[in-house]
Structure 1
């Protein structure tokens, strides 16, 4: 997926913890609660290709025929309503997604065949992993729609960032404000670390670079 404004490239340089503080400052909920990498070293950033799933109908629907339509560099975002008794992603999808150079997959639910995503280094973030198939249990209901992932709203084209701390979403309409705030917070924290390494007391460095107000709501300052 193209990055004409360079915002995905900006986002990939930031930690989710820093972006989380920026979201708090702006009063935006973007932290995807409970969503974790299937490998603790997984990192990703890209724009969302969203879908919402539900219980299977009769005759049964499908869970994976969309994958060839996902653009390179996108993050597959699957809202399975937190369902953990049946998977929605497995090794065939992992192999194709990796070959197509997708940025990663985020699931409000579970995945399986974890060995392959770890072997390939393909980032999958989900609530958990388990082996029971979703075939004839789960189906895709809608694509390119607004979904909920770990309590956070995700729209098509929103930026998602994942790292060892979890997954965060940057809403498209607030990208510039969130990224600018996160970059400011990162610069302040880097300055604190540099000052302490140079011999300054931590409390003094925090006062000097306004550490305690970095994530304070703007309208509260």
Structure 2
């Protein structure tokens, strides 16, 4: 049952953009837009459910950046919370190669990565704050896995849905996925009708009025 529902959600989200979902989140009063998290390549698209890991600075022992990748599989998104640090990376060439081979859906980092050429060559989607070459080894350590993390100011829980494209990354709470998809579809369809009307000769003002554009993203409150 769960796998069937997940497959339906994945199929529905695959037809939507981050902007569709962002507007739906606004309508539902949810925060899911990850500030400052961007694709290494604008052609990258990411869709899957979160597997989470949180890093912290090392203490008296060197800690570890984690040998977790072999335990993940298709449909999962690696979500790494490195507290937005730009001075050390937590993802590089070897992780990219292993993740791509395993069919993992992609990686989202609140921080930076390195070895970007490998990601682009393999077409493996990475969304991060940027890239830099300095390793996180002996500088950060794994604090927790499988727990809620923060990415771009957004709480991400294991199993939440992540959608990424050229505009960035959005997080859809697993428990609200159905509502978000329904709202995003309505918004997407309305904007397609507005676009078609404009291309047919209507003014943008008239098309927006006809299809209720100015109410699409407005938060819906219980009556």
Contact 1:32 1:167 in 2 (8 A): yes
- Is 1:4 paired with 2:4? yes
Cα deviations across residues 59-111 of structure 1 (Å, max 9, x unaligned)? 32221301011122100000010011100000000000000000000000000
Which residue of the partner structure matches residue 80 of structure 1?
82
Cα deviations across residues 165-210 of structure 1 (Å, max 9, x unaligned)? 0000000111111110000000000111111122222111101100
Q: 5+ unaligned residues in a row in structure 1: which ranges? A: none
Superposed CA RMSD in Å reads 1.3
- TM-score scaled by structure 2? 0.95
Measured in 2, the distance between the counterparts of 1:124 and 1:77 equals 10
Measured in 2, the distance between the counterparts of 1:105 and 1:72 equals 12
Aligned pair in 2 of structure 1 residues 211, 220: CA closer, same or farther (>3 Å)?
farther
Contact 1:8 1:47 in 2 (8 A): no
- Is 1:17 paired with 2:54? no
Q: Residue 159 of structure 1 is aligned with which of 155, 158, 161?
A: 161
- TM-score scaled by structure 1? 0.96
Which residue of the partner structure matches residue 178 of structure 2?
176
1:132 is paired with a residue of what secondary structure?
A: coil
2:19 is paired with a residue of what secondary structure?
A: helix
Measured in 2, the distance between the counterparts of 1:3 and 1:30 equals 23
Measured in 2, the distance between the counterparts of 1:130 and 1:34 equals 16
2:221 is paired with a residue of what secondary structure?
A: helix
Which residue of the partner structure matches residue 68 of structure 2?
66
Measured in 2, the distance between the counterparts of 1:143 and 1:27 equals 28
2:129 is paired with a residue of what secondary structure?
A: strand
Q: Residue 205 of structure 1 is aligned with which of 191, 202, 207?
A: 207
Q: Deviation of residue 13 (structure 1)? A: 1.5
**Residues 140-151 of structure 1 mapped to structure 2, 5 A cutoff:** 140-151=142-153
Which is further off, 91-100 or 64-73? Answer: 64-73
- For these two proteins, the number of residue pairs brought into alignment is 220
Q: Deviation of residue 41 (structure 1)? A: 1.0
Cα deviations across residues 23-59 of structure 1 (Å, max 9, x unaligned)? 0001100000000011111111000000111112333
Measured in 2, the distance between the counterparts of 1:68 and 1:9 equals 26
Which residue of the partner structure matches residue 124 of structure 1?
126
